[in-house]
Amino acid sequence: MSDKNLVIAVIACFAVAIAFFLVIVWEINKSIKFDRKVRTEQAQQKQITIEDNRDFSIYETLVGDDGREMVLVPEGVFSRGSNDGDFDEKPPQEVYLDAFYVDKYEVSVEAYNKFRKAANYVEASVPFFEGEHELLKHPNVPQVGVSWYDATNYCTWAGKRLLTEAEWEKAARGTHGLAYPWGNEMLPRRANIHGTADGYQYLSPIGSFPMGRSVYGVYDMAGNVSEWVEDWYDQFYYQEAPMMNPTGPEDKKNRVFRGGSWDSTKVDVRAAKRFAATPGRKDSVVGFRCGKSVEK
């Protein structure tokens, strides 16, 4: 090889080495920038949580027979229904309810499995779910694949009952008729609804959205899973319902469920929104929580 070719080869090798070094430096710099971005976003998320300075300690709590925490919703009047919603949400009216307790969290897979084991009860079943079925078995996600009868049986076993529809709505929106548990606008990081902007495509672990708590400190009353309540459904019920401790109509075809789910739009997770289905329905968007009357 001539001296000229040798020099060219050395220069080429040196250029390749320099280019390789610059690529490494670029990749390291990109990694550092990405890490800083992630840390900034995490810090912002933590700050959002810190800024929720509502005092939930003012509401009495107790532990139910199933070992799960419940929150006291005081007696009094609240605004039920909405003029901005569907026909069955009208007319809005002031309704009085006696004090009651509500589960702080939706009933989890772990809690439901304890019930199943103790009562030798049938396993929950989901006819169709577009995601991985293993997600539905995670101990800290809400139990789905349960009918109204299953939910009722769990609550009875736990020394509780399903909430009435009116109780559920008061626990979700407080006394002033908020559109959502946290306020009157749909805000980020408040609920697990349709899409992945909230960080979840399907079910999220229970309690993942502390900023979405209701005024009583109750979690996930918008999104994640809808929740069975005690009442039969009648689209005209609000027009004739009593103003004190309403318990719903008698002997209808469908039972009510509330709250919207991970597959719902922001309109359908409003606290006044009503849904109905046959009591035997089981699917991936409906779960439940329990309530309990205050002993007098």
The secondary structure of residue 134, as a DSSP letter, is G
What are residue 84's phi and psi, to 5 degrees? -95, 0
Share of the chain above pLDDT 70, in %: 82
Rounded CA separation 35/43 (Å): 12
pLDDT score recorded for residue 253: 96
What integer best gives the mean pLDDT of the chain?
88
Structure tokens at 240: 């004739």
What residues have CB less than 8 Å from 291, skipping those under 6 apart?
Answer: 70, 100, 101, 102, 103, 155, 160, 161, 162, 163, 164, 167, 168, 171
How confident is the model over 184-207, as pLDDT tens digits? 999 999 999 999 999 999 999 999
How confident is the model over 148-166, as pLDDT tens digits? 999 999 999 999 999 999 9
Higher pLDDT, residue 48 or 291: 291
How confident is the model over 218-262, as pLDDT tens digits? 999 999 999 999 999 999 999 999 999 999 999 899 999 999 999
Q: Which of 257, 291, 288 is nearest to 144 (CA)?
A: 288
Q: Is 240 exposed, middle or buried (0-12, 13-18, 19+ CB in 10 A)?
A: exposed
Express the helix, strand and coil content of the chain in percent, nearest 5 each: 30, 20, 50
Rounded CA separation 103/81 (Å): 22
Q: Which band of pLDDT confidence, cut at 50, 70 and 90, is reported for residue 9?
A: low
In order of 47, 70, 148, 294, the CA distances from 61 in angstroms are: 27, 5, 26, 12
Query: Residue 34: is its pLDDT beyond 90?
Result: no
Q: Which band of pLDDT confidence, cut at 50, 70 and 90, is reported for residue 55?
A: confident
Structure tokens at 284: 């991936």
